A and B are shown apart, each in its own frame.
Chain A
Amino acid sequence: EVQLVESGGGLVKPGGSLRVSCAASGFSFSDNTMTWVRQAPGKGLEWVSSISSTTTYIYYADSVEGRFTISRDNAKNSLSLQMNSLRAEDTAVYYCARWRDDNYYLDYWGQGTLVTVSS
């Protein structure tokens, strides 16, 4: 059974940093592109960042480019998102999801972890 479990969310002050992680199991993590998607309170889903299986390709949304860094540890089946210079508008539930390179969609999602940026 595919499982994606996010962790690391919490309360952080504007301008601060936070790292969220995703533990993957039940599939060959090292063969898959992984993605972060977020949902701000009362808003829709927003794609944040994706990283290919061997980290050759990395993509960011304009809204986080230069502030967020996506990474992965294939030996530990783990995906991370380092978030720096956080803003109030980064407050959201952050979901980890698996991207299907063959069919171009997100087939498995985690339950999400809440990040709150507030003073």
Chain B
Amino acid sequence: QSALTQPASVSGSPGQSITISCTGTSSDVGAYDSVSWYQHTGKAPKVMIYEVTNRPSGVPDRFSGSKSGNTASLTISGLQAEDEADYYCSSYARSTTLVVFGGGTKLTVL
């Protein structure tokens, strides 16, 4: 059960856009349109994107997701200070497991 691969850190200035990549395999990210993204600030993680591109109610439309092949991406446009957090991607990975997470990316808003 290998974790999905994310960059350890990204940074951007307020108002800029950043993209976080999430690379898996043809058994997880590439096999299902079931990639989700979570924001974690030390409290309960919060889902920001599900099914690759969908935003739950209440999540700003500055957050968007996409996927190409075995790599999914989270883009945050118009960065705000409150976006500073750890972000984790996750994919459905139906085999003997259910879910696989990425290693996490620390977003710093400069």
Contacts and interface: CB of A to CB of B under 8 A. Distances in A.
Interface string B34-51: 101010100111110011
A46 to B, nearest CB: 6
A105 B36 contact: yes
Contacts of A95: 44-45
Interface in A45-66: 45-47, 50, 59-62
Contact of A50 (B45, B50, B99, B100): B99
A66 B34 CA distance: 28
A107 B98 contact: no
A100 B40 CA distance: 19
Interface residues of B, number: 29
A15 B98 CA distance: 27
Interface string B51-63: 1001010000000
B103 interface: yes
B31 to A, nearest CB: 12
Interface residues of A, number: 25
B98 A106 contact: no
Interface string B91-110: 01000111111111000000
Given A4-B44, A47-B98, A109-B45, 19 more contacts: A35-B98, A37-B45, A37-B101, A44-B102, A45-B90, A46-B101, A47-B97, A59-B96, A59-B97, A60-B97, A62-B97, A97-B45, A104-B50, A105-B47, A105-B51, A106-B36, A106-B90, A107-B56, A109-B46
Interface of B: 1, 3, 32, 34, 36, 38, 40, 43-47, 50-51, 54, 56, 86, 88, 90, 92, 96-104
